[in-house]
């Protein structure tokens, strides 16, 4: 009998659409953070395309952490090799990088609630990027690096977008308002991406492309994802926001499209610069409302938006500062992802589809019934 982890993977829409991408299989591709939410999908897309993947993970001997990668490799024409990699240890990725022509660096924490932002966010993001790119400098076979950045490197709070041309986020925008004390996660992503560009511009052997996703949604391939996307969605469906969800402006994208964009950026020689990946502009209440048709009868979903003064008052209980709430609730987010559509061939699915599949999987893993039978 197959495990529940296998069942929750088998029935997913697990296709990464690479129909317009000239994927090369002559040399390996290294992926950092390969066991992570996004990294697992990138690894799957490469394996399905017949690529040899050098997957850098914290502990290749941890069977529970790498089991899903081994399972993916068994079902794909590509070949998987596991290597140990530590973001904070210089030279840690050299062995995994040997012979690779492409490095896809996805490893970086996406956790907002941390005890020490410098230690838990900035150091892994910034020092990790430096260590990976130092390894690239020592590896003459590498000619392309794809870095997972974030739309958070383009704006810190939704209110910031009011001063952008046309009040819309584009690849020319940079986050100038986040800091170690206010929104340290966006701050860490901004520092890491700026450092990557600084190092890339000092040489001309390898080229850098960054992918800047909005909030990532959709199912996971690993059974215990640590991305904050899952804790956020869990809070929206477990009754925490039953009396009202905040209208925090956000943009969202499916993890499978973000994976596709990384692979396209890796193999399309003309790809360059920064690429926003985002499917829809929305807000937290509107996003949660997309679940009502399918789950409204079985989950304690919010039926109304929480008034802004109430959200401000309850900010500490929601794990947010009142400054964050004032700068994000009631402010629209508009994002231009046209470059990824036109140059990387990314085709975005509706946010509702991503949300439904994500929640179905979460409920199945918890052993809870949904409004529809789930055949995982």
Question: Which architecture characterizes domain 25-363 according to CATH?
Answer: 3-Layer(aba) Sandwich (3.40)
- Cα–Cα distance measured from residue 199 to residue 324, given in angstroms and rounded to the nearest whole number: 32
Is the CB of residue 279 less than 8 Å from the CB of residue 350?
yes
DSSP secondary structure of 219-239 = --SSSS---HHHHHHHHHHSS
Catalytic status, residue 194: no
In terms of Cβ atoms closer than 10 Å to its own Cβ (0-12, 13-18, 19+), residue 314 is: middle
| Per-domain residue ranges of the chain | 25-363
Percent of the chain with pLDDT over 90: 82
pLDDT (tens digit per residue) in 240-296: 899 999 999 999 999 999 999 999 999 999 999 999 999 999 999 999 999 999 999
The total of other beta-carbon atoms located within 10 Å of residue 113's CB is 10
Residue in 44, 65, 189, 194 annotated catalytic: 189
pTM, whole model, 2 decimals?
0.93
**Parallel/antiparallel/unpaired status of strands 102-105 and 52-57:** unpaired
At CA 193, angle to CA 210 and CA 40, rounded to 5?
Answer: 55
Asked whether residue 348 carries a pLDDT value surpassing 80, the answer given is yes
DSSP state for residue 307 in the 8-state scheme? P
What pLDDT, in 10s, does the model give residues 41-67? 999 999 999 999 999 999 999 999 999
C-beta of residue 375 within 8 angstroms of C-beta of residue 363:
no
| 348 DSSP 8-state letter | P
Q: Exposure pattern of 27-37 as b/e (b: 16+ CB <10 Å)? A: ebbbbbbbbbb
Q: What is the model's pLDDT at position 309? A: 93
- pLDDT confidence of residue 203: 97
Structure tokens at 129: 């990027």
Vertex 21 angle, CA 361 and 50, to 5°: 70
For residues 181 and 308, give the distance between their C-alpha atoms in angstroms, rounded to a whole number: 23
């Amino acid at each position: 009998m197959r495990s529940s982890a296998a069942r929750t993977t088998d029935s997913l829409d697990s296709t990464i659409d690479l129909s317009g991408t000239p994927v090369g299989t002559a040399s390996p591709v290294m992926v950092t953070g390969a066991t992570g939410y996004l990294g697992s999908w990138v690894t799957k897309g490469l394996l399905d395309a017949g690529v040899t993947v050098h997957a850098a993970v914290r502990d290749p001997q941890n069977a529970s952490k790498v089991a899903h990668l081994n399972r993916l490799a068994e079902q794909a024409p590509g070949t998987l090799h596991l290597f140990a990699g530590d973001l904070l240890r210089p030279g840690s990725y050299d062995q995994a990088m040997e012979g690779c022509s492409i490095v896809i660096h996805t490893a970086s924490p996406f956790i907002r609630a941390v005890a020490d932002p410098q230690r838990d966010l900035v150091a892994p993001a910034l020092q990790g990027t430096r260590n990976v790119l130092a390894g690239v400098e020592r590896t003459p076979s590498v000619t392309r690096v794809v870095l997972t950045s974030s739309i958070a490197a383009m704006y810190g709070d939704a209110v910031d977008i009011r001063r952008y041309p046309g009040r819309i986020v584009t690849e020319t925008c940079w986050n100038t308002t986040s800091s170690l004390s206010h929104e340290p996660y966006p701050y860490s992503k901004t520092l890491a991406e700026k450092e990557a560009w600084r190092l890339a511009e000092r040489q001309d052997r390898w080229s850098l492309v960054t992918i800047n996703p909005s909030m990532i949604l959709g199912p996971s391939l690993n059974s215990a994802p640590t991305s904050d996307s899952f804790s956020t969605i869990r809070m929206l469906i477990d009754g925490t926001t039953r009396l009202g969800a905040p209208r925090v402006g956000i943009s969202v994208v499916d993890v499978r499209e973000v994976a596709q964009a990384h692979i396209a950026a890796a193999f399309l020689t003309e790809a360059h610069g920064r690429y926003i990946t985002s499917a829809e502009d929305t807000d937290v209440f509107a996003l949660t409302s997309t679940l009502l048709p399918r789950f409204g009868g079985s989950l304690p979903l919010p039926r109304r938006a929480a008034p802004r003064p109430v959200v401000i008052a309850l900010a500490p209980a929601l794990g947010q500062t009142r400054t964050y709430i004032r700068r994000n609730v009631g402010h629209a987010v508009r994002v231009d992802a046209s470059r990824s559509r036109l140059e990387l061939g990314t085709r975005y699915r509706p946010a509702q589809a991503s949300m439904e599949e994500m929640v179905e999987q979460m409920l199945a893993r918890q052993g809870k019934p949904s409004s529809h039978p789930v055949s995982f």
